[in-house]
Each structure stands twice: as C-alpha cells, then as structure tokens.
Structure 1
Amino acid sequence: MPSARRTAPATIKDVAARAGVSRATASYAFTQPSRVSAPLRARVLAAADELGYVGNDAARRLRMGHSLAFGLLISNTANPVYAEVAAGAEREAAANGRFIIVVNSDDDAERERAYVNFFESQQVSGIIAAPVGDVPAELLELRDRGTPFVLVGLAQGDHDFPAISGDNELGGYLAMRHLLDQGRSRILFVGGPHPHVDARLAGARRALAESGADASLEVQRTPAQNARIGEEVAEALLGRSAADRPDGVFAGNDLLALGLLHGLLAAGVDVPGDLSLIGYDDIEFADFAIVPLTSIRHPSAALGAAAVRLLLGLETEADLSGAFAPELVVRDTSLPTGR
C-alpha cells in the first residue's frame, strides 16, 4: 500500500521535531545561523530537506512579510562611499543567511519614495537607508507598519529610529587642524547640503577657534558633491587674483576634492605649493590621483555591516558607540613644498 502523502506544507515546528531541537533553535538555523553551531545547523537543514520545508518556508515568509532580504537604499551609487557601504552590508548579510537588494535613487527624492514602496511590495524584513536628504515620510510610515530601518547618516532633530554614522565633527576637526599645521591661513571649506557635511564644517570651525591662529575660514556651499562641481569651484577660484585665493581647501568629500584638484592642476596651480587640499572619505581613487589626495578615512564598509547587525538585533546603537572613528590620511596634496 503506498504511503500517505503530506497534504499540508511543513512548518518550522515540523522541522524542529524532525531534527530533535527546539522551535527557536530551528528558526535561528535559518534566520541567524551565527547563533547555532555548525553541526546543529546541518542537522536542521537536513530535516528541512527531508520535509521539503525550504521552498514552502520562503513562500510563507513572503506572505507574512518576513523575507530573508533586506533593502539597501542608496542616494547615488556613483559615489564610491556607497559602494563600500553596500559591500559591508552584503558581507554581513551573507554571514547571517540573509540577502541585500540594492537600489539607487540617483539623488532623486521622487525615485527614492518609489523604491521605498517597492521594498514594501517585496516585503523585505528591514531597510538600510542612505537617503538623498531627510528620512522620507514613506520610510517612517513603513516602519510604523512593522518594517524596521536603520539610517546610515546623521539624523536631524529628535528621532526614534536607529542612526549610525562616523564622527563627522571629529573628522572636520582633524582636517582643519592639519591645514593649520601646514601653515595655511586663508582656508576655504566647500561642501554640499547634508547634515554630515554640516558636522564636518562644525569640526573645522572648532579646530580654528581652539588654535588661536591668525587664519580665516571662508565657506562655500554647493548643490551636490561630485567631481564636476569641484571643477566648477576650481574655475571660480581661478577667476580671483592669486592674493585673493585660499591657500588651503577642505572639501566635503573626495569626489569634490578630486574635481577641484583636476581643475587647479590643469590651470597650472601648484598643489600643494600654492594651495593645500584635503578631502573626506578616503575613497580608493584618492590614493591614485595624479597628486595623491590627503583625506579623512571614513569607515564606510563597517557602517554597512553594523546596519545589518542592528536590523538582526545582534547589536544596539549603544554597542556601536565610538566604533566609527575617522582617521587622517596624509598624502601629497597637503604637504608643504619640498617635504
């Protein structure tokens, strides 16, 4: 007589019973494998295979809004910093049996909102967001409906969601302190309209105030931070007399700094002889510029990995306090002539 066939799909309870483990342990084997020993996880997976659980469970998770995927919303993948954030997030997700769906809003707030709605339709189990500006209302509403998110960046004002960032104020302080140590006294800060850039500027101002140096700080805000705008800033500087130009420039990120560097060198300005230049983020291209760029190293991959751990509940914001300290990386664009 043929054996009776199972008419109902296998559940996690069935898998736990077959493997001889608790229901929680069976669940961890799929969702948080780092919490289960390798032999125990292998036993759970073998039981799931025997029962045909994996495919059914994936469908169940999608119906329940608990897929194994996290969404990663990036404002512009042209910025190598976000590629590093994504790489860190993907490595950490893979280590925990999860997946990352990466989307790029290309600095378009409307597209960003559409992607938040897309994530909801895919029923991701959490979102990592590096948005164009403020946290979009759609993301807050999605959180209120049960999908958590982590902001990679500085949150403005009071907030009730996790937000992680490097110490941008300290990074700005280190950059300005370095320019002052090189004897620069007419310093220009150039940066875009972002909270983390505001923090970098605040750090630069603190360093100048504490130094007591006879130096000035000029501030120029830009609509975005990319190499093309950096070239435009360089062109504007070249329209000034040599005596009226800054002798030190702190750019809000490396792309902006590299555009500045290209425009200045093309016009015959001696960097760092006439002008010291420092960027922020220490992207890979900084070290390969025709004049290697001094920069503040930003732990982008570590931020992406930490965001995944926060979503998984493996860490809290308190656990990450002080974990993302910036570091000054000195290269040729800021050293005095002849050094």
Structure 2
Amino acid sequence: MTLEPAPRRPKAADSLATVGDVATRAGVSRATVSYTFTQPDRVSPELRRRVLAAADELGYVGNDAARRLRVGHSLALGLLVSSTGNPVYAEIAAGAEAEAAAHGRFILVANSDESRERERAYLKFFESQQVSGILAVPVAGVPTELIELRKRGTPFVLVGIAEGPHDYPAISGDNERGGHLAASHLLAQGRRRLLFAGGPHPHVDLRLAGAKRAVAESATPATIEVIRVRVQTAKAGEAVAGELAGRPKPGLPDGIVAGNDLLALGLLHGLITAGIRVPEDLSLVGYDDIEFADFAIVPLTTIRHPSAALGASAVRILLGLEKEQDTQGRFDPELVIRATSLPGGGLA
C-alpha cells in the first residue's frame, strides 16, 4: 500500500492570500474581514468564526505581529503631502486619519514642503518604518522612489492626477469640470476678459483646460490669458496682483480663475491694496473651498471638492476595501458662490 502525503496547509510565512481572498472564501465583505482582525467586537461570533476558518485555510495571518513577520509591515500608513501650508491637505489628512482609525490603523504624516529632496527622504523613512501603504500627494508627478517602493511590496495610492499610462491606483475630483464651472460662472456675470493663474501641476492643467473650454463655448466672444506661478501660495497670488496693478486699465482682466484658494486669497489682498475693486472692477473665483474662503474680507467664490472623502477613500483602497473604479463620479466639483464674483450683488 502506498501512502500519499497529506495536503500541506500553506504557512503564514509563504501565504499570498489577501483580504479579498479571505472574504470570498468566507462569503463576507472585505470590511468584515478587516474588522475581524482589527475590531473583532464589531463582528458577530458566527461571522468571526467563518472569517478565521477561511483565513486559516488560506494561510492568511491577520494579527499585526504575525503580519509583520510575514511581510514586514506595521499598522501604520504613510501620508506624504507636498505642503501642509495648504489647508486642503489638512482636510485630506483628517479624512484619512478618521478612516484609518475605523480599521485600527494609524497615519504618519510627512510634509515635503515642495522639496523633491525632502520627498525622497520621507519615502526612505516610510520604508524604514515598514508602513503597510502610502497615500501620496507628491510635489509634481509620481517619484521614481515611490514606484520602486511598490515593487518591493509597499503599495501606494496617488491622491491626484496620474500622468500617462500607469498601473497604480489614483483618485481625484473632476478638475476639468471644476475649471469649466468657474469660468462659466464668470462669463454668466458678463465677464469677457478672463485670466487663469495657476501652478505647474496636472490637476491645475485640467482646471485650465476646463476654463478654456467654457470660453470656447461662450455665445459671446471672450478671451482667456494664462499666468503661471511656481507655487500656489498667497504670496504668489499677491505677486500676480502686483503685476496686474502695474498694467494700464484697458489691459486688466475683468475675471480671474485661480488654481487654488490660497492663490486667490493672495490675489484678493493684492488687488484691493492696489485700489482694484473686487468684484466691481474684477470678479474672482478660487478653487478648493478652504475654511478661510468664507472669512475673507470679501468672501471668496470657489469650487469645492470633498477633500476629506478623497483621503478616506484612499485609505480604503490601500486596505483592499474599495476599488479605484468604485470612486468614479463620487468627487464631483461644486460651485460655491460668494461675493468676489458678483459685480451686481446677485446670484447667477
């Protein structure tokens, strides 16, 4: 009689099973699998038993200590932003932290301050800390170091626009539509000489493309000028205002779309200081609807994106609880009309 060796159960150390595999085997959602290992009190005893049995069969290890032995990762997620001076990134971080906490995870926030060198240093730091994933809002484009980290087993989600062909997840609001909304609103106020001021970023390029489309579609002839700034800060906006104030009055635009609210607030301050009335002489629209927009000396019309929801969704994608495709259409922009764009004092 020949004895057949018993089938070998895969060990945790060599298992390639994922949260999705366990969910499919147990007949439950990915969220239930995540809660089983991070917040077991939220799962019924029967569901917990099924998940643990499926995990055991597949060789999936859910507790953090064992997971670190298996893949060298911790409960921490890294969040890399290009500037904490931009309140939008604080909103993204708040959404990410709330979602991470709901799954027993923690967020390590790193600010590159628009520096490529600091960005690279922080990516090395994240790898040394064995974070289990990275949410990236890079300075400009996806750095090579981030791609290499992914090849070595640390996934990332780009919160922004992915340039060219890519195989990593990226989520963003509809920036082209946002730019179109902003310029269309100015055109509806009777503005015909528009200016777009913005930085060198893919999402800003899309906002500009939307503004240009609105001008091209206008039933009444209109023009759009473009001014590029290196960084989208209030100080940069003030500098643009200074350049505009030095022009002869016929050379001034009568409507401005700014690449973000910080830039718009700097423009607003600089224009008013130079004696250019907003919105009587010139209408202004920002982008992002940061908290300060509503508290400006002239409340700022702007385009709102759900930044906190973007951060939360990025965490869910990293944890395998959501797919990139599921986010489409959920972050549509919204025009928030305030005083800076209304020369006649009414809504349109």
Shorter-chain TM-score bucket reads 0.7 to 0.9
Residues 1:160 and 2:179 aligned together: no
Q: Secondary structure at the match of 1:193?
A: coil
Matches within 5 A, 1:96-135: 96-135=103-142
Q: Name 1:280's counterpart in structure 2.
A: 287
Verify: 1:226 aligned to 2:230, yes or no. Answer: no
Q: Distance in 1 between matches of 2:291 and 2:338?
A: 13
Change (3 A) 1:289 1:136: same
Q: Give, in angstroms, the shift of residue 31 of structure 1.
A: 4.3
Mapping of residues 6-155 of structure 1, within 5 Å: 28-29=34-35, 31=37, 33=39, 37=43, 58-63=64-69, 64-155=71-162
1:329 matched to which residue of 2? Answer: 336
Which TM-score applies when normalising by structure 2? 0.83
For 1:111-260, what aligned pairs fall within 5 Å after superposition? 111-260=118-267
User: 1:190-231, CA deviations, whole angstroms, 9 ceiling, x for partnerless residues?
Assistant: 000000000000001111111232111000111110000000
SS at match of 1:134: coil
Pair 1:296-2:300 in alignment: no
- What SS does structure 2 have at the residue aligned with 1:250? strand
Q: Which moved more, 1:175-184 or 1:32-41?
A: 32-41
**1:117 deviation in Å?**
0.8
Paired residues of 1:92 and 1:305 also in contact (CA < 8 A): yes
State the Cα distance separating 1:90 from its structure 2 match.
0.3
Letter in structure 1 aligned against 2:138: P
Unaligned runs of 5+ in 2: 1-11, 13-22, 50-62
Amino acid at match of 2:218: S
1:267 counterpart (257, 263, 274) = 274
Aligned pair count?
309
Q: List gaps (5 residues or longer) in structure 1.
A: 1-10, 12-21, 44-56
Provide the rounded CA distance (Å) in 1 between the counterparts of 2:279 and 2:291: 20
| 1:37 aligned partner, one-letter code | V
* 1:58 CA drift (Å): 4.5
Shift of 1:30: 5.7
Q: 1: CA distance between counterparts of 2:35 and 2:313? A: 21
Distance between the aligned counterparts of 2:40 and 2:324, measured in 1? 20
Displacement, 1:321? Answer: 1.1
Q: Is the 8 A contact 1:280 1:296 kept in 2?
A: yes
Question: Could you tell me which residue of structure 2 aligns to residue 50 of structure 1?
Answer: none
RMSD: 2.6
Indicate the residue corresponding to 1:14 in structure 2: none
- Contact 2:81-2:137 at 8 Å conserved across structures: yes
Alignment partners' CA distance in 2, 1:199 and 1:35: 45
Distance 2:257 2:207 in 1: 10
Q: Indicate if the aligned counterparts of 2:36 and 2:48 stay in contact, CA closer than 8 A.
A: no
CA distance in 1, matches of 2:34, 2:47: 9
In structure 1, the residue corresponding to 2:185 is in which secondary structure? helix
Name the SS for the 1:323 alignment partner: coil
